[in-house]
Structure 1
Amino acid sequence: MKPHVIIIMADQLRYDVLGMGFTPNIDSIAADGTAFGRAYCACPLCVPARGSFFTGTYPNRNGSLINPWEPADAVCGDVRPEFGNLYTMMERDWDSIHSGKQHLFTTGGKLEDRVDSRTRWFSTEKSYKEFLKEHGIAMPGGGKFRTKVPEMVDGKATRVSSYSNAETGRYEPGEQYYFDSYFTEMALEGLRRRDTRKPLLLNAMFLAPHPPLQIPDPWYRAVGAEDFALPENIGVYYPRQSPLQMYNLTGIVGTRYGREHWKEAWRVYLGLVRMLDHCVGRVLEELKRQGIYDDSLILFTSDHGEMLGSHGLFQKMCMYEESARVPLFMKFPKAFTPSEKSYDQVVSHIDVMPTLCDYLQVDSGNEMDGTSLMPLLRGESRAEDRNSAYIQYDGNGSRSNFQRCMIWGRWKLIVDLFKDETFYELYDLEEDVQETSNLMFDGKHDEIAEEMANRLAAHSRETGDLLTMAPFDAAGFRRKYEDFPVL
């Protein structure tokens, strides 16, 4: 029989909070398998991140660019019908079970509403709301935990939207009514009711540690302020980081808080991380109870990261490591052992589906942009064969703010665009892990910046980007910005 496949995805999980002692169950997946230390999402936003992860294609190619909340731009949130996804590729031969957040949007409607779906949808956000309504319980969050921000619709008109902020509180209804407790119970129900005649495909999609940061006991009290130290870049808006971030939710919400508030936000966020780990542990325990853990390919990741005060920013929607870099752990069935316990090559979420198709011998039905990691996992490819990744952001609920990014070995180039303005950031990720010094202003790295800008522009053209980037001009860029006061 084909291997069982378990995909476990967190939402908005910083890669750097793993291995701190808060996540023993998640860490065990890496301990029993392998970890990719430099993995990146294709877009630091929920819907397009998942569109790319589950199809192995770039947002530009598959059409899912934003969260489709604004009707005028909603079509830019859907994966085009010619692209298959993990569900449609595997649900014929695997017993496909889903529990949790479902933010893979496709043209023609949601996956779970397909009349021909062979996946069993044990829970989604819709069924969670119905569960709360049945018990007369309010959802976590509310007015205190949301902030009004401007959002440009169709690039022409500004509306006022409301998004999660970094306020914290206790969720009084209790743990049994929280998102991830419900999703976990439904995932366990799915595992107990699986069709043992077929290999299992479980997609366990957790919401944690995505805000709102209103969480139940015991997790609200699970982490003390003395249990962690804030990174140095928390609450710091660095000289020469893009001022265009102040047009985006990240800056509008994030810059209102100082380090004292971020300390409490971190404490509650890490409580959510501990809750996530507990939920993952329950799923792993059930796999072991059923005797299928050793015969399962288990993949753990997050759709993207979370700034949580780094660079003075909140949420994701930007290209800094805390937002765009993701954990990626893979534990294979006992018949296959990866060549290394960890890899430091640059890899992307778009490589996951080609890897699964390669290992499981599944026909994708269409061309994918990513490349299989199996040669790397078998020890057949060289380190220099993998040293670049491309990331894009096209706005949150509508197409409005734009960023393009290339990681090339130790270098990262960020191109931030709003209306007719373009701002560049270049970082050396080996020497400047927290991205505090924008090398575009020292005049010594123009050659590498231009090479990356040209590669990024070529990538945009090749993938059918709706955005056209201005020609790169390092000297002109500096003349425009270097005389501005540094706050």
Structure 2
Amino acid sequence: MDTGPNILLVMADQHRGDAVGADPHCPTDTHGYPFVHTPQLNNLVERGALFSRAYVPAPICVPARQSLWSGQTPATIGSTNWYGHPWEFEHTLAGELTDAGYQTHLVGKTHSQPRGNHVGFERMGPTHVGASLRDDDYAEWLHNKSGGQYDKHTGGLESNTWTARPSHVPEHEHPTTWTTSQALNFLENRDEDRPFFLTVSYQRPHPPFDPPSAFWEMYIDRDLPEPVVGEWVEEMFGDEIPTYPPTDAWIADLSPHEIDRARAAYYGLITQIDFQLTRLFESMWREHGVLDDTLILYTSDHGEMLGDHHLWRKGFPFEGSTRVPLLLQFPTSMDYPTEQIIDRPVGLEDVMPTILAAAGIDIPETVEGRSVLSLIEDPTADWRPYYHGELGPSWTPKDATQYLIDEQYKYAWNPYNGDEFLFDIGSDRQERCNLAESSDHTEIVSTYRSKMARHLAHRPEGFSDGESLHQVGLDAWEGMETP
């Protein structure tokens, strides 16, 4: 076969879309410069593109990753909530590349179920679970390296928390550094007679919020951007804000001090990933001579609310949770327009067809996503009329959400309690004003309600009869472990 380009897929976990310096909505400092320091990610745009409206099909780990690997939606997979379903797909991104002759390998975080499911990769590992489990390769490595004196939990932070502190391990022993080292080991020992598909999957900036001291210090003394709190928040969530929030709270009105620490740590973790990408790209260029022959794609499985609207973690239909980075850099052999910021709604199920198209491999009929290469060739090209995402109840009924995003608006609806949102994303990207609360926007809210009803018309949960939306009980999510 004609060999395609090498492919490097870099995934972060819980990296929100505006936390990239090149993103047009990145917070800025008093001088107007991007607040988040990501020079290596920014540089990808020089030979590629940044999609400033990349969304997730489900704003939580398991279904989002299933969609990325399969190119299918959570509804098709039968996995719309955190619990997920067995990872059994007819076609996967890695599987198609393996069948086409690529050497396929993943290092770092994997959420596949059952543990050890390769999702089509020839090899996975070493891997890092990242949650509160101790039986992963990174934890074993760290335990052995310290002679049993400490492990990844001895810093005292939980895996889902708003509390923050510098890492208790040296920078060279941090999981982000360790994951990069495993990628470098692959490059050193790869089969040079085949093109490679390498996935480098970082567990951060997902909590614990624990950057090494050097990256903590980059942000902790700065005047950090404050969270956005919409005009609608008090009425919608006011009664749910706890007086004494637990450290893993989904909703919490924290002190400015605690918020600053969380944001400093979060941005520090992202900048650490950027520095590690410098390490990886330098090796690909200087030591292995493959950087110019490699297609690079960077993305994440979902975002992090980071205190916006008093919300933390993920699972919400709002921008902090649903929008992620999506950046592409082309090898020199590909003649695509570069230095583009493309503001069209795309999603994680588009990653598989994009990479396969770039590699010259047929896209399986099971794939529901679309290659974004057509938008790179012509950012005004015909595209999907809207993007749809969802989440079934995972911890509480408040988790249930359905959302539609088009060129201007985002409409979100909770099928359990009927909560409704409409945001003019074109002019209100921070979602300060919920138009669904205003009598002045009754007609446009009705229009989007009808769009959602038509989209959900054939769903077995009973969300819609094709014309109207219907609230449903928890038993509608058949087979789900009820909260």
Cα-to-partner distance string for 1:74-102 (whole Å, 9 max, x where unaligned): xx3333x2432112111231111211100
The 1:166/1:252 distance shift into structure 2, 3 A limit, reads closer
Given that 1:426 and 1:439 are in contact with CA atoms closer than 8 Å, whether structure 2 keeps it comes out as yes
- Gaps in structure 2 of 5+ consecutive residues: 22-33, 130-135, 471-483
Q: Indicate how the Cα distance of structure 1 residues 338 and 396 shifts in structure 2: closer, same or farther if over 3 A, else same.
A: farther
Say what the alpha-carbon RMSD is for the aligned residues. Answer: 3.0
Q: Does 1:468 align with 2:463?
A: yes
Gap change, CA 1:143 and 1:397, over 3 Å in 2: farther
**What is the aligned-residue identity percentage?**
25
TM-score between the two structures when normalised by the length of structure 1: 0.82
Other structure's SS at 1:99 match: strand
Query: Shift of residue 243 of structure 1?
Result: 6.8
The alpha carbon displacement at 1:359 in A equals 2.3
Which residue in 2 is equivalent to 1:449? 445
- Match in the other structure for 1:262: 259
Q: Distance between the aligned counterparts of 1:122 and 1:370, measured in 2? A: 29
Shift of 1:132: 2.5
Q: For the structure 1 residues 253 and 346, does the alpha-carbon distance in structure 2 shift closer, same or farther, using more than 3 Å as the test?
A: closer
- In structure 1, the residue matched to 2:157 is 145
- Could you tell me how far 1:307 is from its partner in structure 2? 0.6
CA contact (8 A) 2:162 2:248 kept: no
Q: Secondary structure at the match of 1:213?
A: coil
> Which stretch shifts more, 232-241 or 273-282?
232-241
Q: Does 1:85 align with 2:92?
A: yes
Once residues 397 and 149 of structure 2 are traced to their aligned partners in structure 1, the CA distance between those partners, rounded to angstroms, is: 35
Find the residue that maps to 2:419 and give its secondary structure.
strand
For 1:143 and 1:318, the matched residues in 2 are separated by 28
- 9, 12, 22: which one pairs with 1:7? 9
Question: Does the Cα contact within 8 Å between 1:394 and 1:403 map onto a contact in 2?
Answer: yes
Give the Å deviation of 1:270.
1.4
Q: Contact 1:26 / 1:277 at 8 angstroms: preserved in 2? A: yes
Residue deviations 1:445-468, cap 9 Å, x none? 223222322322333345x46462
The answer for the alignment partner of 2:341 in structure 1 is: 342
Q: What does residue 24 of structure 2 align with?
A: none
1:156 counterpart residue number:
none
Matching residue of 2:80:
65
> Size of the alignment, in residue pairs?
441
Q: CA deviation at 1:177?
A: 2.7
* Offset, 1:13: 1.1
1:333 equivalent to 2:331? Answer yes
Q: Which amino acid aligns with 2:139?
A: K
Q: Give the match's secondary structure for 1:77.
A: coil
How is 1:238-249 mapped onto 2 (pairs within 5 angstroms)?
Answer: 238-241=233-236
Q: What is the aligned partner in structure 2 of residue 182 from structure 1?
A: 178
The verdict on how the C-alpha distance between 1:311 and 1:249 changes in structure 2, with shifts beyond 3 A counting, is farther
Q: Kindly indicate whether residue 357 of structure 2 is the aligned counterpart of residue 358 of structure 1.
A: yes
Residue number in structure 1 paired with 2:269: 272
User: Which has the larger strand fraction?
Assistant: 1
Map 1:324-473; keep pairs closer than 5 Å.
Answer: 324-339=322-337, 341-379=340-378, 382-383=380-381, 385-396=383-394, 401-418=399-416, 421-462=417-458, 464=459, 466=461, 468=463, 472=468
Measure, in 1, the Cα distance between the counterparts of 2:461 and 2:155: 35
Counterpart in 2 of 1:129?
A: 139
| CA deviation after TM superposition for structure 1 residue 139, in Å | 4.0
Q: CA offset at residue 384 of structure 1?
A: 5.2
Distance 1:82 1:188, change over 3 A: closer
In 2, distance between residues paired with 1:386 and 1:40? 13
Instruction: Give the match for residue 233 of structure 1.
Output: 228
Q: CA deviation at 1:261?
A: 1.6
SS in 2 for 1:345: coil
Q: 2: distance between equivalents of 1:224 and 1:217?
A: 10
* Greater length-normalized contact order (CA 8 Å, ≥ 6 residues apart): 1
What residue identity is the alignment partner of 2:281? L
What is the match of residue 282 of structure 2?
A: 285
Q: CA, structure 1 residues 119+458, in 2 after alignment: closer, same or farther (shift >3 Å)?
A: farther
Letter in 2 for 1:16: D
- 1:124: how far off? 3.5
The CA distance in 1 between the partners of 2:194 and 2:387, in whole Å, is 36
Q: Indicate the SS of the match to 1:218.
A: helix
**Which residue of 1 is the match for residue 481 of structure 2?**
none
3-state SS, counterpart of residue 448 of structure 2: helix
* Contact 2:98–2:104 under 8 Å retained in 1: yes
What is the aligned partner in structure 2 of residue 159 from structure 1? none
Counterpart residue number, 2:480: none
For residue 18 of structure 2, what is the aligned residue in structure 1? 16
What secondary structure does 2:422 align onto?
Answer: strand
TM alignment of 1:145-164, pairs within 5 A: 145-146=157-158, 164=160
**Counterpart of 1:318 in 2: which secondary structure?**
coil
Q: TM-score, normalised by structure 2?
A: 0.83
Query: How many angstroms does 1:66 deviate by?
Result: 2.8
State the shift of 1:437 in Å.
Answer: 1.2
